Amino acid sequence: MQRDACALVLAGGESRRFGSDKALAQFRGEPLLAHVLKGVCAAGFAQVSLAAKAPERYAAVADEIAYVNKRKIELLRDVRPFQTPLAGLAAGLKASRHDLVFACAADMPFAADPALIDALTAAIAGHDAVVPEAGGSLQPLCGLWRRHCLAVAEELLDSPRPPGPRAILHRVRAARLEWADIRPFLDADTPEVLRDLERQG
């Protein structure tokens, strides 16, 4: 089943805690980014995009996944001069040809969980955004956004110290989705955490 929505993978971080580009770190025999891209391709999104400061760094990985999955993966350049996932999200919202954009981070190998995506899609009715809440924490880097959130995102990006995507939620009709399983939100902040994630079922 094809989802009439865009999947956006955010690969714009500096990976300071990781020590190297974690999107290209090996995870189960392939770059971590490849695992995330395979997940969103398998989830059936009509459009798949990747946003990064230097998207050409990830072109080889994206091209391989696109070839194997017979899908086009669009590379988007985040042109903002500062580091915040909000900039990548804005780039994806702007490039989306669909009203709904599922955005997840490039270091979240289990983010494209079909049950979670189905639940987010159902919960966004009457709202502009839906963000999961698991373990007492909001997960804005694994949420569903309407394309018109772009206007708020760009306004926030023009502020002296641009915030993260969570700031959008205070300016739009946002919903929280309680989610008991924290697995989709596990991310690889350090090499040690990445090794722990490899042992996840």
Judge if pTM exceeds 0.85: yes
Strands 30-31 and 26-27: antiparallel
Amino acid (one-letter) located at 43: A
What is the total count of domains within the chain? 1
H or E element at residue 92: helix 85-95
Phi first, then psi: give them for residue 131, nearest 5 degrees.
-125, 130
Q: Percentage of the chain with pLDDT > 90? A: 81
pLDDT at 14 over 60: no
Q: How confident is the model at residue 125 (pLDDT cuts 50, 70, 90)?
A: very high
- 198 assigned to some structural domain: no
| 6: Cα separation from own chain's centroid | 11
- CATH code for position 75: 3.90.550.10
Decide: helix, strand or coil at residue 178. strand
Question: How many angstroms separate the CA atoms of 132 and 128, rounded?
Answer: 14
Please give the residue range of the domain that contains residue 99.
3-192
Whether the predicted pLDDT of 2 surpasses 70:
yes
Classify residue 173: in a domain, yes or no: yes
pLDDT tens-place string over residues 162-179: 999 999 999 999 999 999
